[in-house]
Structure 1
Amino acid sequence: MKRVSVVTINFNQDQITEELLISIAETNTYEDIEIIVVDNGSTVNPIPKWTLKFPDVKFIRSEINLGFSGGNNIGIKEATGDYYFLVNNDTEFTTGLVQKLVDVLDTHPQVGIVSPKLNYFSDKSLIQYVGFTQVDYYTCRNKAVGRFEKDIGQYDNLLGQTGYCHGGAMMVKRETCHKAGLMADNFFIYYEEVDWGERINKSGYQAWVRGDAVIYHKESMTVGKKSAFKEYFMNRNRILFIRHNAPPLKALVFYLYFVILVVPRNIVSYIKEKKYNFISILFRAVWWNITHSKNSEELGFTVNKVS
């Protein structure tokens, strides 16, 4: 039996993280499992109380917020499993979830990473994800398969390759990480799992999705539906993803598309919504990519104030 390390990140969301840990305890039937929680520099360190409340869980404290990519990388480095199951802390497990994903990795050597179906926690009959299309380098856009569809069992037999796995829940082989590397820390949050997926795909492994394995997701619990933080990193990392992955000609087309169409469209949207401060946030995101190398660890945003 392969050992599974479940890795999740907490940042100022003690109750949400505890709800995840309880859901794992109530639904998990897989025997060889370890659970690792990385506290990403929360204002108040929750680990002392957690060690008493959840004695079987391994807790790691980072004194600074390292984001989704950095926090998960810390957890992976401390994990002892053959497979790493990276899950958002705002998720809820279902019975048999871990076993179903392990079965995919055990029986398909070409698969390096696999995701379950994600349904929204607020409406568990509504699908968020059953796969991603490949990113179009010309626009840096892709689509989530099944999003907002009512779940009537139409994907229960789905088992196969997809463009990328979902950052909210993805199980990856240890050997995949050795070959493709870990997530790029400088993405911090947003596009990091797609960038990682590109490297996993290029390393020779496939990304798969299993439709009868389900996890529920309380989307946008950390940074809100729309915030300056989210707007900055979504725009900054969209450009950074292209810099990391696109061939020169396709990258040039994207830059023209972004400057001529995306920037004006976003500015008009900000003005209509009276979010005038987002205009400077957008230009900061663009300017970061002009003034920093694609591997720079300087984020250009004060992240520890985000809650």
Structure 2
Amino acid sequence: MKRVSIITVNYNHADVTLELLRSVKRSIRYSNLEIVVVDNGSKTDQTGWMRDHYPDAKYIRSVKNLGFAGGNNLGIKQAEGDYLFFVNNDTEFFEDTISALVDILDKDPSIGAVSPKIVYFDRPEIIQYAGFTAMNYNTGRNKCIGQFELDQGQYDAHLGPTSYAHGAAMMVRVEALDKPGPMPENYFLYFEEMDWCEKIRRAGYTIWLAPKTQIRHKESLSVGAASPLKEYFMTRNRILFIRRNAPALSVLIFCIYYLFVVTPRNLIGYLISKRLDLASSFFKAIWWNLTHKTDSYEL
């Protein structure tokens, strides 16, 4: 039986993380399991409080917020599993979640990573993720399959390759990381798992969706108000992703598309909504890409 390491990152929400840990203890029957919790720059060290309530996990503390990738990479360094199951701390498991994913990786060594179907915690009949379409390098866009759809089993027969795993729940074969290495940390927020999946595929592995097993995600159905922080990283990292992964011709087409289509469209939207703060973040993100290399860690 392969050893599985569950890796989750906590940032100022130890109570939410403990709900995940209780979910694992309550519902998971897979025996060869370890849990690694990374406290990623919380305002106060929350590892002691979590350990008091759930002593069976490994706890790691970073005094600095290293971002989504950096926090998970700390977990990778401490994990001993053959398979690494990266999960957001605001998720909860079904009983067969781990065993179903392990079975898929066990049966085919060419599969580098696999994600379950993800449903919304408060509305489990609504799908959040049932795979991703391929990235259009010319526009920097792709689609999350099934999002906001009523789950009527329409994707349950689609066991097999998908373009990208979902960062909220993805199980990765350790051997598949020999060439790609750890998760790219220069994204900080958004797109890092997609870049990682690109590297895993280029190392000769496939990315799969396991739609008959699920995980519940406590993310809201409504995205909520846009923030300058999100606007900055979504814009910055979309451009960075294309720069790092697309062929040269597609990068050129993307730049033209972004200049003459995306920028005017977004500016009109910012003006109509009177969100000049978002316009400022948008242009800062573009300027970052004009002044930084693709391997820069400066935010």
TM-score by length of 2: 0.97
Give the equivalent residue in structure 2 for 1:213.
213
| Unaligned segments of structure 1, at least 5 residues | 300-307
- Secondary structure of 1:288's counterpart equals helix
Question: In 2, distance between residues paired with 1:288 and 1:207?
Answer: 31
What is the CA distance between 1:215 and its match in structure 2? 0.3
What is the CA distance between 1:219 and its match in structure 2? 2.0
| Unaligned segments of structure 2, at least 5 residues | none
1:26 aligned onto 2:29: no
Q: Tell me if the contact between 2:5 and 2:84 (Cα under 8 Å) persists in the aligned partners.
A: yes
Give the equivalent residue in structure 2 for 1:168.
168
What is the CA distance between 1:224 and its match in structure 2? 6.1
Question: In 2, distance between residues paired with 1:125 and 1:113?
Answer: 25
Give the equivalent residue in structure 2 for 1:237.
237
Give the equivalent residue in structure 1 for 2:60.
60
The one-letter code matched in structure 2 to 1:144 is C
What is the CA distance between 1:178 and its match in structure 2? 1.4
What is the CA distance between 1:179 and its match in structure 2? 2.5
Question: In 2, distance between residues paired with 1:86 and 1:146?
Answer: 21
> What is the root-mean-square deviation in Å for CA atoms of aligned residues?
1.4
Give the equivalent residue in structure 1 for 2:139.
139
Give the equivalent residue in structure 1 for 2:274.
274
Q: Tell me if the contact between 2:14 and 2:50 (Cα under 8 Å) persists in the aligned partners.
A: no
Q: Tell me if the contact between 2:120 and 2:220 (Cα under 8 Å) persists in the aligned partners.
A: no
What is the CA distance between 1:176 and its match in structure 2? 0.7
Question: In 2, distance between residues paired with 1:68 and 1:75?
Answer: 11
Deviations 1:8-40 (A, max 9, x none): 111111221111111111111100010111111
What is the percentage of aligned positions where both structures have the same residue?
A: 52
Deviations 1:112-144 (A, max 9, x none): 100000011121100011111110000011111
Question: In 2, distance between residues paired with 1:280 and 1:153?
Answer: 43
Give the equivalent residue in structure 2 for 1:304.
none
TM-score by length of 1: 0.94
Question: In 2, distance between residues paired with 1:142 and 1:266?
Answer: 18
Number of residue-to-residue matches in the alignment:
298
- Secondary structure of 1:208's counterpart equals strand
Question: In 1, distance between residues paired with 2:157 and 2:259?
Answer: 42
Deviations 1:140-192 (A, max 9, x none): 11111111111122223331011111111000001011132111110111011
- Secondary structure of 1:100's counterpart equals helix
Give the equivalent residue in structure 1 for 2:158.
158
Deviations 1:58-98 (A, max 9, x none): 11001111111111111111100000000111111111100
Alignment of 1:32-111 (within 5 A): 32-111=32-111
The one-letter code matched in structure 2 to 1:289 is N
